[in-house]
Chain A
């Protein structure tokens, strides 16, 4: 079975732009979660989606949004990029939601200049 894939792997943007990141979960997995990792804050939870519905949201501003499609693929969008949004964005999928083991993708490394 193919693992979790994320595209693109690397991205450079400038302040004020917007960006869309994509995550394809393991086949059959219906839950997708997104995380941000920075040297200063470590790993932080962004969103969790299950069956196209956002089930949980972390403490991030409204510039961060996401969605999940009927095939369980997910996208997250960051609008009006700030320098502090430079980070590794990780997506993880699981069969169900809540307490299931998560399988992480390789991440998208975003640099905002």
Chain B
């Protein structure tokens, strides 16, 4: 049983396009994280959300607690955005440990 589901699994976009990656979860959470992983393995934490919306540069993350859903948006996408984007949630009944989605592989073509 996957507590965290991401969609799509793979996404190819043209440079400049608006991109949306979705994350749904089925349990009570204390926080949701969006992570970015480039080839080679390094992971960068993009956002941590417990409610509402956050923006950093061309990236926007939203969360709807009632619907148990979060989205990561990338505006004016660029080839350097190509990476794996991973949603992770802190599950309260598991003592707030992180459970990860399978990731979305994003490729932005120039």
Contact = CB atoms under 8 A, between A and B. Distances in A.
Interface residues of A, number: 25
- Interface residue tally of chain B, by bracket? 20 to 34
Given A99-B30, A99-B50, A102-B33, A43 B41 contact: no
Interface in A43-80: 43-45, 48, 55-56, 58
Contacts of A58: 97
Contacts, number: 55
Contacts of B45: 101-104
Nearest to A90: B43
Contact of B96 (A37, A56, A103, A107): A56
A90 B86 CA distance: 14
Given A42-B103, A45-B98, A106 B42 contact: yes
7 contacts: A35-B98, A37-B41, A43-B88, A48-B97, A90-B43, A107-B41, A107-B42
Interface of B: 30-31, 33, 35, 41-45, 48, 50, 86, 88, 90, 94-103
Closest 10 CB pairs of A and B: A104-B43, A43-B100, A99-B31, A56-B97, A98-B96, A107-B41, A56-B95, A101-B48, A45-B97, A42-B102
